[in-house]
Amino acid sequence: MSKIQVSAKMKINPGMLDEFKQQATKCISTVKEKDPGTLQYDWFISTNKTECEIRETYESSDVFLVHISNLREPLRILFEKFASDHSVAIYGEPSTEVLENAKARRIEVKVFSFLKGL
């Protein structure tokens, strides 16, 4: 199976920056403890502190599915209280299971297949 990369973007709800950061820390801690196949899980915040982007890399689609399962509750809290306008792009060749999981959760995912590079 091939490595996949993910870019997740979201808006931070007004007045919720500190709480958003605390929940982000919980998500990162969970990944460190439970997701050994996660190669990158970096959170970035815009200079005006209203948007966040997560850059993620996984060894395989199977590892990504484990990641999604492990973060189900922390991410539910994040999007229920602290963030909105979530979008996801996947780079590589995600498995059918990854795409079905996103569809079942009503998450619109754009998939970009590799064209050329170094």
Q: What is the per-residue pLDDT across 34-44, written as a single tens digit (0 to 9) for each?
A: 999 999 999 99
Residue 48 covered by a domain: yes
Residue 38 covered by a domain: yes
Give the pLDDT confidence score for residue 85 in this predicted structure.
92
Residue 117 covered by a domain: no
Residue 86 covered by a domain: yes
Give the pLDDT confidence score for residue 39 in this predicted structure.
97
Residue 118 covered by a domain: no
CATH number at residue 31: 3.30.70.100
Give the pLDDT confidence score for residue 47 in this predicted structure.
98
Residue 53 covered by a domain: yes
For residue 27, pLDDT over 90 is answered with yes
Q: How far apart are the first and last CA of the chain?
A: 20
Residue 68 covered by a domain: yes
Give the Cα separation of 84 and 9 in Å (integer). 9
Give the mean pLDDT of the chain.
94
Q: What Å distances lie between residue 94 and 57, 60, 66, CA to CA? A: 12, 8, 14
Q: Which domain holds residue 34?
A: 4-112
Q: How many domains does the chain have?
A: 1
Q: What is the per-residue pLDDT across 70-115, written as a single tens digit (0 to 9) for each?
A: 999 999 999 999 999 999 999 999 999 999 988 888 888 999 999 9
